[in-house]
Amino acid sequence: MCERPKVAHLTSVHYAFDTRIFHKECRTLAAAGYDVVLIAPNDRDEAEDGVQIRAVPKPTGRPGRMTRTTWQILRAAWRERANVYHFHDSELIPVGVLLALCGRRVIYDVHEDLPLQISGKFWIPGWMRWTVSRAAAVLEALGSQVFRGIVAATPAIAARFPARKTVTVQNFPVVGELASSRRRPLAERPPNAAYIGMIEVIRGIREIVASFALVRESLNARLVLGGKFDPPELLDSVRQIPGWSKVDFLGWQSRKEVAELLANVRVGLVVLHPRPNYLDSYPVKLFEYMSAGLPVVVSDFPLWRQIVEDAGCGLVVDPLDPGSIAEAVQWLLENTEEAEAMGERGRKAIDTKYNWSAEAEKLTQYYRHILREG
């Protein structure tokens, strides 16, 4: 009986049950018959859905994560003796290079356009960002020469890497994953809107909160926030913004909790700032809101406008204008019948076009190709 190929996924930045890494890629590969190990910061070793999680200590800060945690992941990865190593963070590029130079098959999973992403990093001084961005581009280019493969999260990211070794695996939702058994018509739900995800300035948290101070009082609308503030001290300043009195902050939510949360609101918000790395991105939360049958309010970027207008599933706004956001939220709350129709059209678009099934097939085919290569 043939031994199953072993695959080791590596991350230092993401938590062990990250949506793309664990819930989509690792579970897909395990279901396809691979022996899947995920090396990630976690409290303990554990197993779920056929995936073995090898825990490394959780870092206490960015410097420790980029040094101590990286070293711990390299040691754990080497012990696995996997057939394929698949890493998910740019700070692990040196780990990937070392494994590749030792003859291992290595895949770099590129979640973001790193050089563009660096332009929005608050912890890098403004005068250093261009230099750091160029250095990151060079590091990725050099690494891509020795890595066996590149998995890109969007077509725009894929275009930056050698076509012969690159596959695009987009972050579309798993059909039905966020469906709740207690899903009700929008008219029967509280008049609430939701934002779920990392809570940052460049993801529009200040404008979102400020917009709720402008929504008509008679609607009794509330904003439901699920996620973590980055940096943590941002929470204190956002609490001072008019509109915070209408916020229910729930903190980080599990996938099951996200499904229940989305089943009890009427609108999903994705109003990221117009930063270069967002303009051509495919926002995961947009597709998750659509999957849950919610009408959406999104930033008016050309790509996002095209997605929303083609599906007929929501409204586009100026993400830097709280008044524009408030107007869209208020319209959807007041026009429940049309909002319900938008949500249903968005859900159908997920079922027929923007879903994980096709992406999972691309991923498993790509793995078969990588393993056939000597």
pLDDT given for residue 109 in this prediction: 97
- How are beta strands 314-317 and 247-249 bridged, if at all? unpaired
Domain positions in the chain = 6-172+355-372, 186-352
What are the average pLDDT values for consecutive 10-residue runs of the chain, which has 374 residues? Answer: 86 93 97 97 96 94 85 96 96 96 96 77 70 82 94 94 96 84 87 96 97 97 96 95 97 92 97 89 93 97 96 98 98 97 97 95 97 78
Rounded Cα distance between 279 and 127, Å, is 23
Rounded Cα distance between 235 and 247, Å, is 12
At the topology level, CATH places domain 6-172+355-372 in: Rossmann fold (3.40.50)
pLDDT given for residue 198 in this prediction: 92
pLDDT given for residue 1 in this prediction: 44
At the topology level, CATH places domain 186-352 in: Rossmann fold (3.40.50)
pLDDT given for residue 173 in this prediction: 92
